[in-house]
């Protein structure tokens, strides 16, 4: 019994150590967080916790152009794939509560085309 418990707890601590190390590595990298209201926040990961609350620094808020704006752009250009800019603004330091996070993306930087 005791061994089983020890196993579970050691398993938990191993999992925790792995998770911590993974998340610690992500600190300082650029994330894009999609929220439940279809906005995207791009910023640098500062802090996170068990509830997946995320604090981003130097954050920009991006918002999809409205359907109206897309329709106008298409109409004006006559091109059904006309580019429409996302609406962006600087918002600084933000907390995104875990419950509102829909998707997390990592902005990776790499050099060259790889060695493959």
Which residues from 12-71 bind another protein, rule CB under 8 A?
12, 15-16, 18-30, 32, 35-37, 39-42, 45-52, 55, 57, 60-63, 66, 68
Closest distance of CB 85 from another protein, Å: 7
Q: Among residues 6 and 47, whose Cβ is nearest to another protein?
A: 47
C-alpha–C-alpha distance, residues 2 and 80, integer Å? 67
Binding to another protein by residue 81, rule CB under 8 A?
no
Q: What is the largest CA-CA distance in the chain?
A: 73
Closest distance of CB 47 from another protein, Å: 4
Q: Among residues 5 and 22, whose Cβ is nearest to another protein?
A: 22
Q: Among residues 82 and 86, whose Cβ is nearest to another protein?
A: 86
The answer for residues whose C-beta is within 8 angstroms of residue 28's C-beta and 6 or more apart is 44, 45
Q: Among residues 52 and 71, whose Cβ is nearest to another protein?
A: 52
C-alpha–C-alpha distance, residues 93 and 11, integer Å? 35
Can you tell me which of 7, 9, 70, 92 binds another protein, judged by CB under 8 A? 92
53-81 burial code (b ≥16 CB/10 A, e <16): ebbbeebbbbeeeeeeeeeeeeeeeeeee
């Amino acid at each position: 019994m005791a061994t089983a418990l020890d196993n579970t707890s050691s398993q938990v601590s191993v999992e925790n150590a792995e998770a911590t190390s993974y998340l610690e590595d992500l600190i300082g990298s650029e994330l894009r967080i999609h929220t439940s209201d279809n906005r995207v926040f791009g910023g640098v990961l500062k802090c996170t916790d068990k509830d997946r609350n995320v604090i981003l620094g130097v954050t920009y808020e991006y918002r999809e152009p409205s359907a109206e704006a897309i329709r106008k752009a298409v109409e004006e250009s006559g091109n059904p794939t006309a580019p429409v800019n996302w609406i962006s603004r600087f918002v600084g330091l933000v907390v995104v509560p875990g419950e509102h996070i829909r998707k997390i993306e990592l902005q990776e930087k790499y050099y060259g085309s790889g060695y493959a």
